[in-house]
């Protein structure tokens, strides 16, 4: 060790380091390296933040919407197909069209959800996307068989419909639920990484500024010159870079937080409320289809409508847009009207008046169960669309806030490095 | 740390050092759908076939029978009359015993005719009735909980069940047989060894199947039509239950046929809450009238003639306890 320390190159280097030109050279090198590294790190981290925000706009945001759409359309398709067995005779044209639209929409949203993933995500064991892709065609096949048998007047049709419903309730809908939770969690994670405080970037910028201050103090003591143009330019660039990063990040963070409180946070609650509405309607229908053997469905109805009330209260408390609030209030009122209509259905069915019960359940008038359900679903759809628009707008603003920050940070880092090197180089020349 | 890693990764990607992996397309087996609650069981130990004397003996009919709307005070009939509806547990899936007609949405069939005859005797109105669809294994619990006044649902009178419910006199005698696809090559119970055979949960057919020496693999489901669905989907080799139920299935699928000799006689009775002798006397009185008045034959003619081979038979003769 001592041999190395006393060896000639080291001795010469340490001797040089004690001289003013030696210290200046070291300072210049240090400043250039630190400024460039800090610039690289900061621009990469701005890039990563921008990516997270882009993901919100192009991946997790739309995919959460797609997953919710898959659940909604599947659940509605099953309620519609089963409901066609409530009334005797040929299914109404509108019922069939609704079912077809639901299946088309489910397939469409599923394609979007799958396209955004890697093949490995679909082939993985118990992958919800895999289950949905494999079982949806099986489901529609069963429904069509049920329909063909029903058209020939065979009770067998109802058995195929029950098998289809069982597939929907035990496999497809749970998979859609898992998919939705996964996408919603991913969205929250993207929001978290877009709103992280840039401590490392701030610290690096402060180190660069501190080094510049030290260099200027040293130069003033050794050379008796108060100002050094190069170092001044470098200092100004470093400060501008720090401020730029701070302003851009804080603004992007605010927009992203707003995208959660005014957008996705509310969408999540509203989407759950809509799913509860769909489940309750399916339960109402299935109770009647089961004809007395449906107490399990009625129990589920009570549970689900309890959840719906809680979710609507939460959505009302979260609402920040007056129009969304109006939709939620309308939904609450409709949920109450529906509860009244449902009580009427149950009363008729429990008294053995099945025909009246079915009439009440399929009544599409303003106070009828079918009519109120459709209105409630529309209220929630409207609120979801509005909050989703808000989410998109906030994410766009966040993305815009960061625009140019990466280029600016990179250029400013080069300016800091060049300014420091040039400024010190001038003084070094005095020692020739 | 995660962010540092992400940054490092981003740097790697920028520098063009990405590693590419290949994705293989795995072969996925098809998953067949099943009706809710379907279960497969290997042949178990045969349940002790209980024998009891006078299995079919039921309380003797009321004489004279009370006129509609004039039920003896305090009787079950009076309570039902006061409610205004007779609540009956039935089947909505079995052509032509109790099934929902897809065209009209109404539940109808031979069993339903029997139930309506009781409503007619109680109220003078066969429509004063509430039909509740039950699966085979819901029949006895529904009676015990008082959810229904009676069960008319292809229910075989057995010693076991007689300990839980009271049966009316026999109103129909079925035979347990086997339904197979026409090209299956199965012509009787002898060929059922190792085959998958379907019956509903809680049915006597299931117990008879499990006691067969050929030890078939039994598949149990909630409703009889679920068996036909499974048979059509190729998940079964055979369905075994009462000939009248099987005939209803064969009528819905002409590629199937009923084969083999009778595995067991299945006498059907109307089930009532345990110990309600007065109600049983009343129902037996109604059934006596149904047999004597030609209603039984008319009902058979309407629902079962042509479905089952042979002419309209005579109704089974009732047996009484005293």
* A106 contacts A74 by C-beta, under 8 angstroms: yes
Q: Which of A265, A112, A253, A257 is nearest to A184 (CA)?
A: A265
What's the pTM value of the predicted model, to 2 decimals?
0.85
Average confidence (pLDDT) over A175-201 = 91
Residue, of A292 and B317, whose pLDDT is higher: B317
Task: Report angle CA A160, A166, A170 to the nearest 5 degrees.
Answer: 155
Reference A43, options B10, B284, B219, B132; nearest CA is B10
Query: Cβ contacts of residue A94 below 8 Å, gap of 6+?
Result: none
Grade residue A222 by pLDDT with cuts at 50, 70 and 90. confident
CA distance A97 to A91: 10
- What is chain B's mean pLDDT, rounded? 89
Average pLDDT of the residues in B198-224: 91
User: Could you give the C-alpha distances from B71 to B124, B274, B278, B282, in angstroms and in order?
Assistant: 12, 20, 11, 10
A409-413, B9-13, B187-191: least confident range:
B9-13
Residues of A whose CB is below 8 A from B126 = none
Give the closest of B34, B100, B129 to A155, CB-based. B100
The CA distance from A419 to A411, in Å, is 12
A394 contacts: CB under 8 Å, gap ≥ 6? A255, A256, A258, A259, A262, A263
Give the percent of chain A with pLDDT over 90.
Answer: 62
Tokens of B123: 């109220």
A170 contacts B92? CB cut-off 8 A = no
Q: What's the pLDDT at B1?
A: 47
Q: Are A401 and A250 in contact (CB under 8 A)?
A: no
Q: Say if the Cβ atoms of B92 and A291 lie within 8 Å.
A: yes
Which residues of chain A have a CB within 8 Å of the CB of B94? 155
Which residues of chain A lie closer than 8 angstroms to B134, CB-CB? 292-293
Whether the predicted pLDDT of B11 surpasses 80: no
- When the pLDDT of each residue in chain A is averaged and rounded to a whole number, the result is 90
Which residues in A132-269 belong to E strands, given as ranges?
none
Structure confidence at residue A122 (pLDDT): 85
Token pair in block for residue A240: 């501008």
**Omega before B96 within 30 of 0, i.e. cis:** yes
Indicate whether B43 pLDDT > 70: no
Q: Which long-range contacts (CB under 8 A, 24 or more apart) does A177-180 make?
A: A177/A71, A177/A275, A178/A128, A179/A67, A179/A70, A179/A71, A179/A113, A179/A128, A179/A129, A179/A132, A180/A64, A180/A67, A180/A68, A180/A70, A180/A71, A180/A271
Confidence of residue A5 (pLDDT cuts 50, 70, 90): low
- For an interface test with A, give the residue of B229, B236, B239, B256 to mutate (most A CBs within 10 A): B229
**Closest CA–CA distance from residue B38 to any residue of chain A (Å):** 10
Mean pLDDT of A330-349: 95
Cα gap B68→B81, rounded to integer Å: 9
The closest alpha carbon to B179, from B94, B301, B269, B102, belongs to B94
The values of phi and psi at residue A87, to 5°, are: -90, 145
Take residue A377 and report the two structure tokens written for it. Answer: 């679903």
Percent of chain B residues past pLDDT 70, beyond the cut: 90
State mean pLDDT over B39-43: 75
Distance from CA of A165 to the nearest CA of B (A): 9
Q: Which residues of A touch B10 (CB under 8 A)?
A: 44, 47-48
Categorize the per-residue pLDDT at A221 as very low, low, confident or very high, splitting at 50, 70 and 90: confident
Across A68-85, average pLDDT? 91
Decide if B31 and A138 are in contact by the 8 Å CB cutoff: yes
CATH of domain B175-265: 3.40.190.10
Query: Residue A226 — very low, low, confident or very high, per pLDDT cuts 50/70/90?
Result: confident
Backbone angles phi, psi at A74, to 5 degrees: -65, -45
Same CATH fold, B175-265 and B57-173+267-320? Answer: yes
Shortest CA gap A325–chain B (Å)? 38
Predicted confidence (pLDDT) per residue in A289-338, tens digit: 888 667 888 999 999 999 999 999 999 999 999 999 999 999 999 999 99
| H-only helix segments in B158-242 | 159-162, 204-210, 224-232
Using CA atoms, how far apart are residues B322 and B320, in angstroms rounded to an integer? Answer: 6
Contact A86 B105 (CB under 8 A): yes
Q: What integer pLDDT is reported at residue B191 of this predicted model?
A: 93
Minimum Cα–Cα distance from A148: chain B residue = B102
| Contact (CB, 8 A) for B132 and A295 | no
Can you tell me the mean pLDDT for B223-245?
A: 94
Contact B103 A153 (CB under 8 A): yes
Torsion angle defined by CA atoms of residues B277, B283, B285 and B286, in that order, rounded to the nearest 10 degrees:
170
Phi first, then psi, for residue A137 (nearest 5°) are: -65, -35
Instruction: Measure the CA–CA gap between B296 and B290, rounded to whole angstroms.
Output: 5
CB–CB of A159/B226 below 8 Å? yes
Q: What percent of chain B has pLDDT over 90?
A: 68
pLDDT digits (tens, 9 = 90+) for A111-138: 999 998 888 888 888 899 999 999 999 9
The 10 Å CB-count burial string (b at 16+, else e) for A218-255 is: bbeeeeeeeebebbebbbebbbebbebbeebbebbbeb
Which secondary structure element, helix H or strand E, spans residue A192, and what is its range? helix A173-194
State the sign of the Cα–Cα–Cα–Cα dihedral A288, A293, A296, A298: positive
- Name the CATH architecture for the domain at B57-173+267-320: 3-Layer(aba) Sandwich (3.40)
Phi then psi for B232, rounded to 5 degrees? Answer: -65, -30
Reading the block at residue A44, the tokens are 């990469």
Burial class (CB in 10 A: 0-12, 13-18, 19+), A73: buried
* Edge-to-edge order in the sheet of strand B217-221: B39-41, B217-221, B196-200, B238-242, B165-181, B256-273, B150-151, B86-90, B129-133
Question: Of the candidates B3, B26, B229, which has its C-beta nearest A159's C-beta?
Answer: B229
What pLDDT, on the 0 to 100 scale, is given for residue B2? 53
Write phi, then psi, for B264 (nearest 5 degrees): -165, 150
Give the start-to-end residue ranges of the domains of chain B.
57-173+267-320, 175-265
C-beta atoms of A159 and B94 within 8 A: no
DSSP state of B138: G
Q: Name the more confident of A24 and B158.
A: B158
pLDDT at residue B22, as a whole number = 72
pLDDT digits (tens, 9 = 90+) for A238-272: 999 999 999 999 999 999 999 999 999 999 999 99
C-beta separation of A50 from A399 below 8 A: yes
pLDDT at A1 over 60: no
Instruction: Enumerate the residues of chain A whose CB falls inside 8 A of the CB of residue B198.
Output: none
Give the pLDDT band (50/70/90) at residue A145.
very high
Buried b (16+ CB within 10 A) or exposed e, A99-112: beebbebbbebbeb
Does the pLDDT value for residue B15 go beyond 60? no
């Amino acid at each position: 060790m001592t041999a190395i320390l006393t060896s000639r190159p080291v001795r010469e280097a340490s001797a040089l380091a004690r001289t003013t030109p030696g210290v200046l050279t070291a300072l210049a090198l240090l400043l250039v390296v630190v400024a460039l590294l800090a610039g690289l790190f900061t621009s990469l981290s701005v890039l990563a933040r921008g990516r997270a925000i882009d993901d919100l706009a192009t991946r997790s945001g739309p995919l959460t919407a797609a997953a919710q759409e898959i659940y909604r359309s599947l659940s509605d398709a099953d309620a519609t197909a089963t409901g066609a067995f409530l009334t005797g005779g040929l299914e109404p044209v509108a019922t069939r069209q609704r079912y077809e639209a639901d299946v088309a929409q489910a397939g469409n949203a599923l394609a979007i959800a799958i396209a955004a993933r890697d093949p490995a995500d679909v082939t993985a064991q118990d992958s919800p996307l895999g289950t949905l892709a494999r079982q949806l065609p099986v489901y529609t096949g069963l429904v069509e068989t049920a329909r063909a048998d029903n058209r020939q007047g065979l009770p067998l049709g109802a058995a195929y419909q029950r098998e289809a419903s069982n597939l929907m309730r035990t496999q497809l809908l749970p998979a859609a639920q898992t998919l939705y939770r996964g996408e919603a969690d991913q969205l929250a994670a993207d929001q978290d990484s877009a709103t992280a405080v840039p401590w490392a970037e701030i610290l690096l910028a402060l180190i660069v500024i501190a080094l510049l201050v030290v260099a200027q103090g040293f130069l003033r003591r050794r050379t008796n010159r108060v100002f050094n143009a190069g170092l001044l330019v470098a200092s100004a660039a470093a400060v501008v870079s720090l401020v730029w990063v701070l302003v851009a990040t804080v603004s992007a963070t605010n927009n992203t937080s707003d995208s959660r409180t005014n957008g996705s946070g509310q969408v999540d609650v509203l989407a759950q409320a809509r799913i509860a509405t769909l489940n309750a309607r399916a339960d109402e229908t299935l109770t009647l289809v089961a004809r007395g053997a449906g107490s399990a469905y009625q129990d589920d109805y009570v549970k689900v409508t309890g959840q719906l009330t809680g979710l609507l209260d939460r959505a009302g408390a979260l609402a920040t847009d007056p129009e969304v609030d109006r939709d939620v209030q309308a939904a609450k009122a409709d949920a109450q009207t529906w509860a009244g209509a449902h009580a009427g259905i149950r009363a008729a069915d429990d008294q053995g008046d099945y025909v009246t019960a079915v009439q009440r359940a399929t009544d599409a008038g303003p106070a009828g169960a079918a009519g109120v359900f459709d209105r409630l679903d529309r209220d929630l759809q409207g609120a979801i669309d509005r909050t989703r628009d808000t989410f998109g707008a906030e994410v766009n603003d966040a993305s815009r806030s960061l625009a140019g920050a990466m280029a600016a940070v990179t250029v400013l880092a080069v300016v800091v490095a060049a300014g420091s090197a040039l400024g010190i180089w001038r003084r070094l020349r005095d020692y020739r | 740390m995660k962010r540092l890693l992400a940054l490092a990764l981003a740097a790697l990607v920028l520098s063009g050092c990405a590693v590419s992996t290949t994705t293989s397309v795995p072969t996925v087996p098809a998953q067949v759908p099943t009706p809710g609650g379907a279960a497969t069981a290997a042949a178990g130990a045969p349940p002790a076939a209980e024998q009891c004397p006078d299995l079919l003996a039921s309380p003797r009919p009321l004489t004279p029978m009370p006129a509609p709307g004039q039920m003896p005070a305090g009787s079950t009939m009076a309570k039902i009359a006061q409610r205004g509806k007779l609540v009956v547990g039935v089947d909505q899936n079995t052509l032509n015993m109790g099934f929902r007609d897809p065209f009209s949405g109404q539940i109808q069939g031979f069993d339903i005719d029997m139930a309506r005859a009781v409503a007619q005797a109680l109220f003078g109105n066969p429509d004063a009735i509430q039909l509740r669809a039950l699966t085979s294994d819901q029949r006895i619990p529904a009676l015990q909980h008082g959810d229904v006044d009676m069960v008319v649902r292809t229910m075989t009178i057995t010693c076991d069940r007689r300990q839980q419910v009271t049966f009316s006199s026999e109103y129909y005698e079925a035979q347990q047989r086997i339904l197979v696809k026409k090209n299956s090559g199965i012509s009787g119970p002898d060929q059922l060894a190792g085959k998958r055979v379907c019956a509903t949960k809680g049915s006597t057919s299931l117990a008879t199947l499990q006691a067969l020496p050929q030890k078939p693999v039994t598949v149990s489901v909630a409703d009889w039509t679920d068996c036909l669905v499974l048979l059509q989907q190729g998940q079964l080799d055979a369905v075994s239950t009462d000939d009248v139920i099987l005939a209803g299935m064969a009528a819905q699928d002409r590629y199937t046929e009923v084969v083999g000799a009778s595995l067991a006689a299945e006498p059907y009775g109307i089930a009532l809450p345990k110990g309600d002798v007065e109600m049983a006397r009343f129902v037996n009185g109604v059934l006596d009238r149904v047999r004597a008045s030609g209603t039984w034959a008319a009902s058979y003619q309407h629902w079962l003639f042509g479905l089952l081979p042979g002419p309209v038979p005579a109704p089974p003769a009732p047996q009484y306890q005293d």
